[in-house]
Structure 1
Amino acid sequence: MFGAFRPTSVAQGGLLWKTPWKLSVTRKANARSRLKKVDAVIEAVRSSGVQCSALEHALKLPKEHEMPAKDKYTVFSPHEKGYRKGIHKVPKWTRLTLRTNPKGF
């Protein structure tokens, strides 16, 4: 078929989203720095004296240095084999708070 709708290698079964199965060292470092920046913002808001329910919820979350590596880089997923999947497999994972996971997984 020719023209605007001719089949390409992607349309013929190639990978459309080439997401690696594990995080690279650079992406892990960027995730850690993001967590540290969020911790700094929470601490700055707390020290300014602001009172709100969002701040109370944020103070209950673990800090970056308190989190085990398993919780920093993976999230709970009931559909995965080991019930965990990499954070980079979650849509919009850089904008979500993924600090809490079910205990025991």
Structure 2
Amino acid sequence: MFGVFRPSPVSMGGLLWKVPYRLSPTRKSRVRLRLKAVDDVISTVQASGVHCKALDRALELPKESEMEARDKYTTYSPKGRDFRKGVHKVPKWTRLTLRTNPKGF
């Protein structure tokens, strides 16, 4: 079929951009590197002597080495199974801090 009715990737296979079920090992390592980079920035700003409210909030967050694996790779979701979902399914998950979760989840 040609022209207007030719098959497209969307009509042939569903969604064009599919989200994988779980994080691959390389994406997990990038999550850890990103968390470590944020920890380095926080420690550098603290060492420079700057004091502000944002730094106080950042110092309350756990470091990458202190976090459990489920907190690194999943986040709280009231609709998710067991109230958790993978961080890669959160929109803009590389820009948000997902280090804090409600207690008990």
Same fold (TM over 0.5): yes
> What is the root-mean-square deviation in Å for CA atoms of aligned residues?
1.7
Distance 2:102 2:19 in 1: 25
Other structure's SS at 2:37 match: helix
> Going by fraction, where is helix more abundant, 1 or 2?
2
Distance 2:4 2:50 in 1: 57
1:15-58 deviation per Cα after TM superposition (whole angstroms, max 9, x unaligned) = 22211110000000000000000000000000000011000000
Instruction: Tell me which residue corresponds to 1:81.
Output: 81
State the shift of 1:12 in Å: 5.3
Q: Please, what TM-score do these two structures have when normalized by structure 2? A: 0.90
Distance 1:99 1:4 in 2: 48
Structure 2 gap ranges (5+): none
- Residue 8 of structure 1 aligns to which amino acid in structure 2? S
- Residue 19 of structure 2 aligns to which amino acid in structure 1? T
What is the aligned length?
A: 105
